[in-house]
Each structure stands twice: as C-alpha cells, then as structure tokens.
C-alpha cells in the first residue's frame, strides 16, 4: 500500500445504532483504491472536546490522510468545525464568500435561510473549502504533512464531494495516476466462508505483493484483491484473479459494485425476456430487488404477494388439493405458484418463494428457515429447497438473494445447452 488513512465519524445517531454508518464502507473502499489503507476508524459523540481528542489522537499516529465525516450542519450539536479548530489550534474564520454561496443555495431551493445556517460559513483558518453539494460545505487542510479533510455526513453529499473534489486532490497530492495499486472485487454467492477459505488456502498468493480479503453479507461474499503499485504485483494479481475465476466458476456473479438483481436484469434484457414474481415468505422483497434498477420495466412485468392460502388459490391458481396434501410450504406449492404466475402475468420467466420465516410456525418436519424457491423458464419449472437461519428479517433477505442466484444460474445453464 502507498500509505495509511484514518476516519473519524461524528454523530450520536451512529453510537445509538439509529443510523448505519455506510460512509465508513464507502470511504474505506475508495481510499484503498488509491493505495491508502485505513488503519483506524472511530465514531465519536456530538461533542467538541470528543472530536478534538479523536483528531489529536489520530495526528499522533501520523497517517497520510485523516477524513472526518458529519457535524457540518447548522444545529447546536454540529461541532466538527469547532472540534477541528480546537485540535489544530486554529481560529474559525467567517467566510463571507461562502456565506453568500449558502444563501444562494437556499434561494434556489425557495427556502428561507435561518440565522443558524450562518455557522456553516465558519471554516478553520487556512483551510480550503470543498464546493457545496447541499448546504454544508466541506474543507481540507495540511497539518504538519497530514492531509485532514472534513465532509458532511449525508452519504449523497459525501460521495459527490469525494468524487468531484477530494479524490482528484489526493491523486494530485500523492502523484497516484500511474502508481495506483490494482484493486479488484469479485462478488460471490452459493459458497460459504469456510469453503472459500479452503480454496484460498490452496492458492499461492502470499508473498506475491498481493493481499486478499473477504467480507460476508446477506447477498454473498465480496472477495477483494489488492496489489502493490508495481507492474510485477499487478501482473500477479491478474493471474490470481483468473485462477480464482476458473476454480469458482458461476459462484462468481459479478465484480466491483454488481448486485445479484442487477446481473439478473442484465441477463434478461440481453435475452429479451420478461420476468414476474410470486412471493409468500419474502413478502415482495424479490419484486423490490428487481425494480431497484432504472430501466427494470424492460424485463419486469409485475408480481403477486400471496401470503394467505386463499390468495395462493384465487390469484395464482394453486389447487386446494395441493395445499391440503402438501401444505403451503412445499415443493408442490412453490411449483404451482410459479406456473400460475407465468400464466396469469404473461411472463417468460417466474421466480416463486414460499417458506417459514419465523420466529414461530415451525414444526419438526418443516422448521423455521425452510424455504422453497421455484424458477420457471417457459413451462420448465425447477424447485430448490433451502434451510436458512438467523432472524426473521435475515431469513427473508437470504431467501430473496438465494432465489435470484438460483434463477441466474438457470439462465446461464440454459445458454450453454
């Protein structure tokens, strides 16, 4: 890696658990792409002294970059400016030019600017202002050779400031254009962490100027390769990635920021095919995932959430005999739901789900976490059984992702025949 970075996040809402800190994942990943490895990330309360203490502690470790996020708004508990000024022993300057820009932003939004918004034009002495995205300006400065930047906590604003200003500034500061390390991410589904660890154990990657990391989440595993900024290490990374792709095959569904639903949509669009959903236990999550993407109307025709047996019959045509004999959570019901949705919604393909998300409702024969996924391509229906675990929410999420992955693989298999 070229250097190190530290991250400081302010906000009581982060510490209470009211807000998930997605900014940490974004900044950590983007810094890594520049060869700056994040060694510390801390969340602190909305308190001037706490912010100043965190910044002083970070400066004592002499990283190359420190980025603060949050606390740049107009309220009394937005104290990042004050904390940075205290830590660096710099006064806060009222920037009249910045105040005018903030006032103009409010005017364009047709919103009255309050007196409290004036504090947003206070910037530590000597700092460079990052152009506005919302009404909270960011800033950066050099403190004894350490690059210190403050960004808003609103993810959209932070990400745009990073892309438009902070990244180019860091690239220029560290001369990164040609020396940037290679970073590649592969997205996997249908393989557990222990099995993946066994695969990686048998691959000779250690000592080759390459680092490999894994991160498990509900939608699968992200496998990250990062190489030192030299041609030999980057060539070795390419060789290792190709080797991993050969070993894991279709367990790899994409790379970088690809999603299962996005890949499924791309496959459907490329084949000029349409899809519908018939959901019970997932309660519409499949339809949501498929329509998360702009242009999904090209392939998604609609879906049915048939939670009760009555609606499974009236809306999807599942026969009373199937429900009575096999139950709502069964291979037969899942298949009937898929065929019924295909006929009624006039789609080329269907994904159907039925299961027991819990925490109650399970039996020894049909425990909590039992899920059946039916996929129909034309009139050909296949059903897979899954035994999932953890909370009700996680079972539903895992079921939706598993269903998307089963369907993805079926589409790929149908092409190879």
DSSP 202: T
Specify the CATH number for the domain of residue 297. Answer: 3.90.950.20
Q: Which residues make Cβ contacts (< 8 Å) with residue 141, sequence separation at least 6?
A: 88, 124, 126, 127, 128, 148, 149
DSSP 176: -
Average pLDDT over residues 106-122: 89
- Strand 36-44 versus strand 138-143 pairing type: unpaired
Q: Which residue has the tokens 């792409």?
A: 33
Return d(Cα 333, Cα 328) in angstroms, integer: 6
55 plus 163 within the same structural domain: yes
pLDDT at 178 > cutoff 60: no
Average pLDDT over residues 210-218: 88
229 plus 86 within the same structural domain: no
CA nearest to 372, candidates 320, 340, 331: 331
Torsion, CA 389, CA 390, CA 396, CA 399, rounded to 10: -30
89 plus 197 within the same structural domain: no
245 plus 287 within the same structural domain: no
Return d(Cα 382, Cα 270) in angstroms, integer: 22
Q: What is the mean pLDDT of the chain?
A: 93
346 plus 269 within the same structural domain: yes
92 plus 66 within the same structural domain: yes
Q: What is the pLDDT of residue 182?
A: 77
Split into its structural domains, the chain has a count of 3
Could you give the angle at the alpha carbon of 341 between the alpha carbons of 294 and 311, nearest 5°?
110
Among 233-247, 257-271, 288-302, 319-333, the range scoring the smallest mean pLDDT is 233-247
CA nearest to 376, candidates 416, 417, 334: 334
243 plus 304 within the same structural domain: no
Structure tokens at 391: 């909370």
162 plus 219 within the same structural domain: no
40 plus 157 within the same structural domain: yes
Q: Residue 113: which pLDDT band, with cuts at 50, 70 and 90?
A: confident
Average pLDDT over residues 302-314: 97
Average pLDDT over residues 10-36: 92
Average pLDDT over residues 128-143: 93
251-299 pLDDT per residue, tens:
999 999 899 999 999 999 999 999 999 999 999 999 999 999 999 999 9
pLDDT at 408 > cutoff 80: yes
pLDDT at 181 > cutoff 80: no
Structural domain span for residue 247: 183-255
CA nearest to 226, candidates 210, 241, 214: 210
Could you give the angle at the alpha carbon of 35 between the alpha carbons of 158 and 66, nearest 5°?
45
238 or 304: which leads in pLDDT: 304
Element (H, E) at 161: helix 155-161
Q: Which residues make Cβ contacts (< 8 Å) with residue 76, sequence separation at least 6?
A: none
What is residue 302's three-state secondary structure? strand
Element (H, E) at 227: strand 220-227
- Per DSSP, what are the bridge partners of residue 40? 6
264 plus 389 within the same structural domain: yes
Q: What is the pLDDT of residue 403?
A: 98
Average pLDDT over residues 114-141: 93
Q: What is the pLDDT of residue 180?
A: 54
Q: What is the pLDDT of residue 417?
A: 60
Q: What is the pLDDT of residue 107?
A: 87
Q: Which of 174, 196, 225 is the last residue of a domain?
A: 174
238 plus 386 within the same structural domain: no
pLDDT at 65 > cutoff 60: yes
pLDDT at 174 > cutoff 90: no
Q: What is the pLDDT of residue 112?
A: 87
Query: Sheet harboring 128-130: ordered strands across?
Result: 36-44, 3-10, 65-69, 146-151, 138-143, 128-130
Q: What is the pLDDT of residue 404?
A: 98
Helices (H), 61-127: 80-88, 96-108
């Amino acid at each position: 890696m070229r250097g190190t970075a530290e991250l400081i996040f302010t906000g009581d809402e982060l510490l209470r658990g009211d807000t998930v800190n997605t900014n940490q994942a974004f900044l950590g990943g983007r810094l890594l792409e520049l060869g700056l490895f994040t060694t510390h990330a801390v969340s602190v309360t909305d308190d001037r002294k706490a912010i100043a203490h965190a910044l002083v502690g970070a400066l004592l470790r002499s990283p190359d970059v420190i980025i603060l996020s949050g606390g740049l708004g107009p309220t009394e508990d937005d104290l990042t400016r004050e904390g940075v000024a205290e830590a660096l022993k710099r006064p806060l300057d009222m920037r009249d030019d910045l105040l005018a820009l903030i006032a103009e932003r409010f005017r364009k939004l047709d919103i009255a600017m309050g007196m409290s918004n004036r504090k947003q034009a206070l910037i530590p002495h000597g700092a460079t202002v990052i152009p506005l995205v919302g009404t909270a300006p960011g800033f950066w400065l050099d403190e004894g050779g350490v690059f210190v930047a403050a960004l808003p906590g609103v993810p959209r604003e932070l990400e745009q400031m990073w892309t438009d200003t902070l990244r180019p500034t860091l690239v220029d500061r560290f001369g990164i254009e040609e020396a940037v390390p290679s970073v590649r991410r592969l997205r996997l589904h249908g393989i557990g962490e222990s099995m993946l660890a066994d695969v990686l154990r048998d691959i000779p990657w250690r000592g080759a100027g390459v680092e490999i990391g894994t991160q498990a989440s509900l939608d699968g595993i992200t496998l990250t390769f990062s190489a030192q900024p030299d041609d030999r290490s980057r060539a070795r990374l390419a060789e290792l990635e190709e080797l991993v792709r050969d070993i894991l095959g279709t367990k790899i569904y994409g790379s970088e920021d690809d999603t299962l639903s996005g890949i499924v949509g791309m496959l459907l669009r490329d084949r000029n095919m349409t899809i519908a959903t018939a959901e019970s236990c997932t309660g519409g999550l499949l339809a949501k995932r498929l329509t998360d993407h702009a242009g999904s109307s090209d392939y998604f025709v609609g879906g049915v959430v048939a939670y009760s047996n009555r609606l499974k019959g009236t809306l999807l045509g599942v026969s009373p005999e199937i429900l009575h004999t096999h139950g709502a959570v069964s291979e037969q019901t899942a298949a009937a739901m898929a065929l019924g949705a295909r006929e009624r919604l006039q789609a080329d393909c269907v994904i159907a789900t039925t299961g027991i998300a819990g925490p109650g409702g399970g039996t020894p024969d049909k425990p909590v976490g039992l899920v059946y996924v039916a996929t129909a391509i034309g009139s050909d229906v296949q059903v897979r059984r899954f035994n999932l675990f953890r909370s009700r929410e996680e079972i539903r999420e895992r079921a939706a992702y598993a269903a998307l992955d089963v369907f993805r693989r079926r589409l790929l298999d149908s092409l190879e025949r």
